[in-house]
């Protein structure tokens, strides 16, 4: 059985997940919130990310996700090493990848990003849930929450709420029957 894929990400008011050169400075505008990331992280058993997001992690030089199995979608035959990461490169059919993760007994996978991989997962209709935190600022140029070509995918709204001083938290589930 395929794993449940949840895209948990922060975005700006104009739908960017970073500025140029991986700049995550916009996240500083998310003030006054109790960080509930640990609760989310405790509930996932695996991670999935695109090559550019991995590159950002490598440049950052630390791996905060422990030994949870991680797949990096990349055309590169090998990944740059990062201490502590339990990571496998993958290239190919993303439907196969989501099935493969499920066959390993993993049930809830965090799609870390970025927008390019997310667009492909939307095209293949492989995203089951969204947990989005919107920061109260614009970024301008930078990767979008989802990029590329994909059909409209409708999600049903679960929770909405204020996040800290001026942010918004949204939770959606994929409405495949609609
Ligand atoms: N705000 C947030 O919560 C958040 C979360 C995650 C990421 N980010 C930011 O988002 C940015 C990265 O996003 P992005 O959209 O530029 O890139 P991305 O989705 O992380 O990675 C895209 C790359 O993955 C590889 N790839 C994608 N699909 C593939 C496939 N089917 N088969 C093989 N390889 C494939 C390709 O690289 P190759 O061809 O080179 O292998 C492609 O250029 C970074 O700045 C990161 O910091 C922000």
Indicate which CATH number applies to the domain containing 65.
3.40.430.10
- Tens digits of per-residue pLDDT, 38-88? 999 999 999 999 999 999 999 999 999 999 999 999 999 999 999 999 999
Q: Would residue 26 count as lying in a domain?
A: no
Q: Which domain holds residue 72?
A: 1-16+34-136
Count other Cβ atoms within 10 Å, centred on residue 139: 22
- Tens digits of per-residue pLDDT, 98-126? 999 999 999 999 999 999 999 999 999 99
* pLDDT at residue 74, as a whole number: 98
Q: Would residue 23 count as lying in a domain?
A: no
Q: Would residue 102 count as lying in a domain?
A: yes
Q: Would residue 87 count as lying in a domain?
A: yes
β-pair partners for 170: 132, 160
Residues 6 or more apart from 154 whose CB is under 8 A from it? 174, 175, 178
Domains: count for the chain: 1
Q: Would residue 153 count as lying in a domain?
A: no
Residues 6 or more apart from 77 whose CB is under 8 A from it? 89
Residues having CB closer than 6 A to ligand 1 are 9-10, 17-18, 22, 49-53, 56, 73-76, 91, 94, 112-117, 120, 143, 147
Q: Which of 13, 74, 112 to mutate to test the pocket of ligand 1 (most atoms within 8 A of CB)?
A: 74
Rounded to 5 degrees, what angle do the CA atoms 69, 72, 45 make? Answer: 25
Q: Would residue 157 count as lying in a domain?
A: no
CA of 105 from ligand 1 middle (Å) equals: 25
- pLDDT at 178 exceeding the cut of 70: no
């Amino acid at each position: 059985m395929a794993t449940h894929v949840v895209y948990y990400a922060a975005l700006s008011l104009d739908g960017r997940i970073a500025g140029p050169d991986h700049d995550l400075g916009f996240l500083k505008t998310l003030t006054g919130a109790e960080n509930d990331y640990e609760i989310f992280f405790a509930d996932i058993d695996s991670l999935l990310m695109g090559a550019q997001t991995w590159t950002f992690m490598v440049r950052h030089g630390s791996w905060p996700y422990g030994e949870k199995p991680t797949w990096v979608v990349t055309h590169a035959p090998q990944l740059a090493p990062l201490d502590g990461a339990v990571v496998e490169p993958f290239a190919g059919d993303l439907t196969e990848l989501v099935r493969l993760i499920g066959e390993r007994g993993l049930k809830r996978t965090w799609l870390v990003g970025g927008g390019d991989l997310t667009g492909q997962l939307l095209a293949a209709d492989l995203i089951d849930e969204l947990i989005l935190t919107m920061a109260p600022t614009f970024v301008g140029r930078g990767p979008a929450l989802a990029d590329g070509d994909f059909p409209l995918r409708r999600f049903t709204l679960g929770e909405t709420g204020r996040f800290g001083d001026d942010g918004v938290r949204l939770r959606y589930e994929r409405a495949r029957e609609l």
